[in-house]
Structure 1
Amino acid sequence: MKIVTWNVNGIRGFKDGIRKTLDALDADVVCLQETKVTRDLLDERTAIVEGYSSYFSFSRGRSGYSGVATFCRESATPVAAEEGLTGLLTNHGDVVGCYGDQKDISSEELQLLDNEGRAVITQHRINGLDGPERLSVLNVYCPRADPEKPERKLFKLKFYQLLQRRAEALLESGSHVIVLGDINTSHRPIDHCDPDDIDNFEDNPGRKWLNEFLFGAEDDHNDGSDGETGPPQKSSAGGKFVDAFRLFHPTRTQAFTCWSTLTGARQTNYGTRIDYIFASRVLAETHFLGADIMPEVEGSDHCPVWGRLDCELLPGSRCPSLCTRHMPEFAGKQQKLSRFLVKVPDRRVDGAKGVLPGSQEDEEIRENLNPFASGAGGGRKRGRDGLPASSAPRGKKVQPTPRGNLLAFFKAKSDPVVGPKQDQGPSEAGGNAGNQHGVHGAEDPVGPNEERDEAAPLEGAGKSRKGACPDFWKAVLHGPPQPPLCKAHGDPCVLRTVKKAGPNMGKQFFVCARPQGHASNPEARCNFFAWVDKGK
């Protein structure tokens, strides 16, 4: 059995489609995070993939935000599936169950914790030493603690607490448990490219929780040489789960799974390890054969992580109710081949050049192209206030609106009056373009806190009329300043703009154009910095 977890940063962004991506990962169970798709945006191509069953959790509050999805091969069809950690989102019979103690968490908090689409649980049957056993897979996208929003720090810790209680309750019920996904906390200094305040590194609340959740974590300080492997460290400290990657690579350095795209940090491997596969101790020690990261796989600011077990999966007899195939919008879409060989009558409306009803997406496209067309009424034209054109009072002719030539608006009007003409100034045109870039990813941000983007020169300046002073327009519409050369590499710098609120917001500056990296890396960005002098 092979299992993979990957924060894809948008499930609809795959160039070759989700099917080819799943096949390339070559796993029985693929857990994706940050799908950025809500139910109304989920299309059939993504929801129904031949050879797989899929299980989604959607954000209820924001579109294009958060979201997780688990895809299982037909040979790994789960026996139960459930959205969320609290049990509040279940409305069907084949649920996973085992929720743990939630008495100290209010019902409102529980609802909010599951409202962002951050968890899907699938339960599978495997062949154990003494017969069939249960394996519960918790696919999670843990929240990020925004340093500027204290309430999100508390939200993140509450989510961790709820996740641990659910995982341990499933474990106590007799099921093996795997918790995997984007945990959004780097555990040890070895998991961070450039840990700040190394003496207080362990004081981070997320790392304290990991020490409690993972078995032997408090005594595991293996920050040794690169590439060494060995058996897991035995200790009575910590919790009931094992970090599968560190089980097989306890001292490997530079093993990161997330990089800042804003600074090009992947080129210099200046990142963090925040994507994990955690397995219950017995499962890890008796069934895991290996685990590793896949930094060579691109397409996201994260890379996949895989784990391999010697378990044989026993597929369920039918897909659980949470499966996308049971959604009303997709139910019945999987037709037999013979269905497409049957001649279907041509349903034309009022003799118009109509086609058979297509997908909802096609209907929306047609409606946007002609918002006043009526699909059922033969496309009658409508007048003002949405009324049919024929509803105008009889006996009165409706004069058509004159349609002018667009070029006519730009031609000089002839003045039939003889005499001095009124002075007209030149037309002014111009604009600027900008791109706001956000830093996606880790709870431990890499690089400066300011969000910046490259400034764009003013474009589209029209030609001044004859007689206007060209030097005036050059002064007004001057381009960006010439970039200086960074002192370490002698390369032209890039222009950035401070986007973070504060006294420097909107100011421009130059920095080295190379990707961010460790200070010891000569190919990484140097510390050159210079404010733009507006007077020049």
Structure 2
Amino acid sequence: MRILSWNINGLATTLQYHPWSETKSYKNLLDAMESDIICLQEIKTQRQKLTREMALVDGYDGYFSYSKTKQGYSGVAVYVKSPLRPISVDERIITNDLTPDFIATLKTDPQLLDMEGRSLIMDFGLFVLFNIYFPNDGGDEGRMDFKMDYHHSVRERMDRLLADGRQVVLVGDINAVHEEIDHCDPKQSLKDYGITDFKDLPHRRWLDQVLVPKGPLLDTGRHSHPDRKGIPANFGTRIDYILISQGLLRWFNKADIRADIMGSDHCPVYADFWNTLPDEDDKRTNIMDFLGTSTATITPYLAANYPEFKQKKLSTFFNSKKTIVPMDPTPLTLPLASPSSSSAAASPLKRQMTSSSSPSTKRQNQNTIKSFFSAATNPSSTPKPTEDDDDLASILEQIDERHESTQGWSTLFQTPTIPSCQVHQCKCTEHTVNKKGPNQGRRFYLCSK
């Protein structure tokens, strides 16, 4: 199993880079990651700009968190490859798990920490995954308070989970360099910050206190490559990490960087975990037995649950229980004049009408053809109906049925008229669906008010 983290620097613009520009396919992009859990940071999009192609990628479930303070800023996403599925999903760092005493230590309004779409926390059973785009200080003192309050809140959440016996995986752009070996030019960094000790910065000290041996998490990249100073064609700082709690070491295999993946100023980093482990009885234990494969999909962060991606066809709103029956092409057969032959000639017609007529076919507020043949005499003087009268009544009823059916078909193919609003009693305005989908090109009406 592979977990991958990538600061993508704009989900919508990634496909402009080679080789993704050749296919313009997010599925090709995700498949190239060769990962089961793909964690993206800095997606820089809003929900209303998330396209169906971004959200509904075949073979993956996409979960998203957006900035609520600034459009096109920050934002994180996690694509989970089927059949793996998290047990629960949340975007909040500040929750009821954090005590009032801890909240009181923050210099930032706690509600503001969850407004920039910086995190997705997902419970996979074996571990709780934190996909986080940590804040930058921006050179502003107030922003440094925000940054460090966010860092401290993440640590508090993780510590509480670890105290409960849970395992933690923290991935993302931490926006902090741990050691001088992780920096392309550490001497210049010392000059830029005016410090003599490389770790004499709040965010670097925080990271140093999180990592072993001082903290609970292992830096998988440095664990796999203890002496690596950089990679070919890369001159930068290592601020993207995959950190795991030590209870996951038995599952951990290796970690590395994907320098071959283009599309951002960051390179993806990944950590591989064994799919199976030998136990004491020399049996193979599969990691999927410990991971969440929940069938629960009720979460607002899953893009497949967005109403805009569940668009119904307009035709579904016009379904009716009553169906219009096409005209019977069989010509009418009039009965013979003689009483002796009329019964035999009309009998098939009478059986047909008896079986097809029902109360549901009665017409309201409409004169039937048969009404024009009603007797004008007093009912008491009306002659007793004969079999010929019954036959004629059946024929007239069939004519009425065909007349109604013809009217129905004429109405169906008639050019629809623009309706009036039932509230304001004014004529509606006509619009056309321009959004791509099953309803594109269809017309609909809105109240002009």
TM-score range, shorter chain: 0.5 to 0.7
Q: CA RMSD in A?
A: 3.3
Please give the per-residue CA displacement for 1:225-279, whole angstroms capped at 9, x wherever unaligned: xxxxxxxxxxxxx111110111111111114xxxxxxxxxxx9522111000010
Matching residue within 271, 278, 283 for 1:307 = 271
Matching residue within 215, 236, 250 for 1:271 = 236
Query: 1:201 offset after TM fit, Å?
Result: 1.0
Matching residue within 118, 136, 141 for 1:150 = 141
Match for residue 178 of structure 1? 169
Residue 78 (structure 1) aligned with residue 154 (structure 2): no
User: Is this contact kept in 2: 1:5–1:277, CA < 8 A?
Assistant: yes
Match for residue 296 of structure 2? 318
Match for residue 376 of structure 1? 445
Q: What is the identity, as a one-letter code, of the residue corresponding to 1:276?
A: Y
Match for residue 328 of structure 1? 307
Query: 1:349 offset after TM fit, Å?
Result: 5.9
Match for residue 251 of structure 1? 227
Residue 138 (structure 1) aligned with residue 138 (structure 2): no
Query: 1:17 offset after TM fit, Å?
Result: 2.8
The equivalences for 1:7-86 within 5 A come to 7-15=7-15, 16-86=24-94
User: Is this contact kept in 2: 1:346–1:355, CA < 8 A?
Assistant: no
Q: What is the identity, as a one-letter code, of the residue corresponding to 1:118?
A: R
Q: 1:61 to 1:245 in 2, by over 3 A?
A: same
Q: What is the identity, as a one-letter code, of the residue corresponding to 2:7?
A: N
Provide the C-alpha distance between the structure 2 equivalents of 1:349 and 1:108, rounded to a whole number of angstroms.
59
Secondary structure at the aligned position of 2:70 is classed as coil
Provide the C-alpha distance between the structure 2 equivalents of 1:165 and 1:187, rounded to a whole number of angstroms.
20
Q: 1:70 to 1:208 in 2, by over 3 A?
A: same
The equivalences for 1:455-470 within 5 A come to none
Provide the C-alpha distance between the structure 2 equivalents of 1:333 and 1:24, rounded to a whole number of angstroms.
33
* Structure 1 unmatched ranges of 5 or more: 88-96, 126-133, 217-237, 256-266, 335-344, 367-373, 379-385, 388-536
User: Is this contact kept in 2: 1:80–1:320, CA < 8 A?
Assistant: no
Larger Rg: 2
Query: 1:355 offset after TM fit, Å?
Result: 9.9
User: Is this contact kept in 2: 1:36–1:66, CA < 8 A?
Assistant: yes
Secondary structure at the aligned position of 1:271 is classed as coil
User: Is this contact kept in 1: 2:431–2:445, CA < 8 A?
Assistant: no
Residue 111 (structure 1) aligned with residue 107 (structure 2): no
User: Is this contact kept in 1: 2:433–2:444, CA < 8 A?
Assistant: no
Greater share of residues in helix: 2
User: Is this contact kept in 2: 1:53–1:319, CA < 8 A?
Assistant: no
Provide the C-alpha distance between the structure 2 equivalents of 1:150 and 1:215, rounded to a whole number of angstroms.
29
The equivalences for 1:157-196 within 5 A come to 157-195=148-186, 196=188
Deviates more, 1:157-166 or 1:42-51: 42-51
The equivalences for 1:270-289 within 5 A come to 270-283=235-248, 285-289=249-253
Secondary structure at the aligned position of 1:55 is classed as strand
Q: What is the identity, as a one-letter code, of the residue corresponding to 2:48?
A: D
User: Is this contact kept in 1: 2:432–2:444, CA < 8 A?
Assistant: no
Provide the C-alpha distance between the structure 1 equivalents of 2:36 and 2:98, rounded to a whole number of angstroms.
26
Q: 1:346 to 1:318 in 2, by over 3 A?
A: farther
Query: 1:171 offset after TM fit, Å?
Result: 1.8
Query: 1:346 offset after TM fit, Å?
Result: 10
Provide the C-alpha distance between the structure 2 equivalents of 1:142 and 1:112, rounded to a whole number of angstroms.
14
Provide the C-alpha distance between the structure 2 equivalents of 1:6 and 1:209, rounded to a whole number of angstroms.
22
User: Is this contact kept in 2: 1:78–1:320, CA < 8 A?
Assistant: no
The equivalences for 1:427-506 within 5 A come to none
Which TM-score applies when normalising by structure 1?
0.53
Query: 1:356 offset after TM fit, Å?
Result: 7.4
Query: 1:42 offset after TM fit, Å?
Result: 1.7
Q: 1:207 to 1:377 in 2, by over 3 A?
A: closer
Query: 1:331 offset after TM fit, Å?
Result: 3.6
* Structure 2 unmatched ranges of 5 or more: 16-23, 276-286, 314-411, 419-429
Secondary structure at the aligned position of 1:289 is classed as strand
Query: 1:327 offset after TM fit, Å?
Result: 2.3
Please give the per-residue CA displacement for 1:195-232, whole angstroms capped at 9, x wherever unaligned: 1328321101111111111112xxxxxxxxxxxxxxxx
Secondary structure at the aligned position of 2:259 is classed as coil
Provide the C-alpha distance between the structure 2 equivalents of 1:177 and 1:320, rounded to a whole number of angstroms.
23
User: Is this contact kept in 1: 2:60–2:81, CA < 8 A?
Assistant: yes
Provide the C-alpha distance between the structure 2 equivalents of 1:27 and 1:346, rounded to a whole number of angstroms.
53
Between Structure 1 and Structure 2, how many residues are aligned? Answer: 309
Q: What is the identity, as a one-letter code, of the residue corresponding to 2:273?
A: L
Q: What is the identity, as a one-letter code, of the residue corresponding to 2:296?
A: R
Please give the per-residue CA displacement for 1:404-452, whole angstroms capped at 9, x wherever unaligned: xxxxxxxxxxxxxxxxxxxxxxxxxxxxxxxxxxxxxxxxxxxxxxxxx
Which TM-score applies when normalising by structure 2?
0.63
User: Is this contact kept in 2: 1:275–1:305, CA < 8 A?
Assistant: yes
Provide the C-alpha distance between the structure 2 equivalents of 1:160 and 1:23, rounded to a whole number of angstroms.
32
Please give the per-residue CA displacement for 1:300-327, whole angstroms capped at 9, x wherever unaligned: 0001001011252341122241312222
User: Is this contact kept in 1: 2:107–2:149, CA < 8 A?
Assistant: no
